[in-house]
Amino acid sequence: MAHERDHFQIGEFAELVGLSIPQLRRYDRLQLLAPAGRTPSGYRYYSSGQTGAGRVIALLRSMDMPLADIRRVLGGISEGERQKLFADHRARLEARLNEVRSLLDAVDQLTMKGDSTKSVPTFASTGLTSWLHHMPHLPVSDVDASVAYYEEALGFRLAWQTTDRKLSALASGPIEMLLLVPWDSDGPPPPQSAYVYVEDPDALCAEYQEAGATITDAVASRPYGMRDFVVSDPDSHRFTLGKGEDSLRDAADYYGLDRGEIAPNPEWLRDRGAGG
């Protein structure tokens, strides 16, 4: 009978369970899946007994399940708790699906026969916009270092890369995409910024901190009705991640407005702040 191996190098284990090496490094930092040990030279290795947990993580991450929920599954929960956890996750996916359907409807309206496209906005710059729906381009001074940071600290994955390495696509979930382009001008690349809406900014901030991300502004409730935090990358590009608090929704209900009409950072407030 063939002798079964007890230990695997990180690359072998990654291929065996369906995860990437950056993911395994990240999950080690997050204490989600620690290696069985390290070699005298410091390299991680994993045991055959860890393949089950690794495959569960790979499966649940392929469903875009939050790491906090995956941690609960691995820790052992009752059948009732498991059913509720998956039902809650399905509801989150349904909400995202409805958002995508709304976007598709908007695209269909713009492409209807005889419909004018003069009102479609065009963007003179390929820089990062305020909304991640526009597949932002980030100029970076070191592509390899930036890819490693986004994978290991922020949980992105490298979706594809051109052979000349002039374009690297990082994915977060099945839809969102971030493009990294080499910066070849003098001096550092101009810093970009974006606001990203997330389900649980507190849990995500804690996860990013544990994974080694650079948190430039800790999670807090803001005067403009959002609870968010700010993370930056090696080139000082900044992402603010958060969501509206109940006070915004209460205000919408009180004034009889649709909740989508409440702007967390209205233009008149920005103008007033600029003139302050």
Q: Identify the CATH number of the domain defined by range 7-62.
A: 1.10.1660.10
What is residue 184's predicted lDDT score, i.e. its pLDDT?
A: 86
Residue ranges covered by each domain of the chain: 7-62, 132-264
Q: What percent of the chain has pLDDT over 90?
A: 12
pLDDT attached to residue 201: 87
pLDDT of residue 137: 78
pLDDT tens digits, one per residue of 28-85:
888 888 898 888 888 898 998 899 999 999 998 888 888 888 888 888 888 888 899 8
The letter for the amino acid at 104 is L
Name all contacts of 258-265 with Cβ < 8 Å and 24+ positions apart: 262/225, 264/224, 264/225, 264/226, 265/224, 265/226
Residue 216: its pLDDT value, please? 93
pLDDT confidence of residue 253: 61
Q: What amino acid occupies position 257?
A: L
Domain over 132-264 is classified CATH 3.10.180.10: yes
Average pLDDT estimate for 75-98: 85
- Only one residue has tokens 């991450």, namely 61
- Cα–Cα distance, 203 to 219 (Å, whole number): 10
| Separation CA 117–CA 259 (nearest Å) | 29
**pTM summary value:** 0.60
Query: Can 7-62 and 132-264 be said to share one CATH topology?
Result: no
Structure tokens at 130: 């305020």
> Which backbone phi and psi does 139 adopt, to 5 degrees?
-75, 130
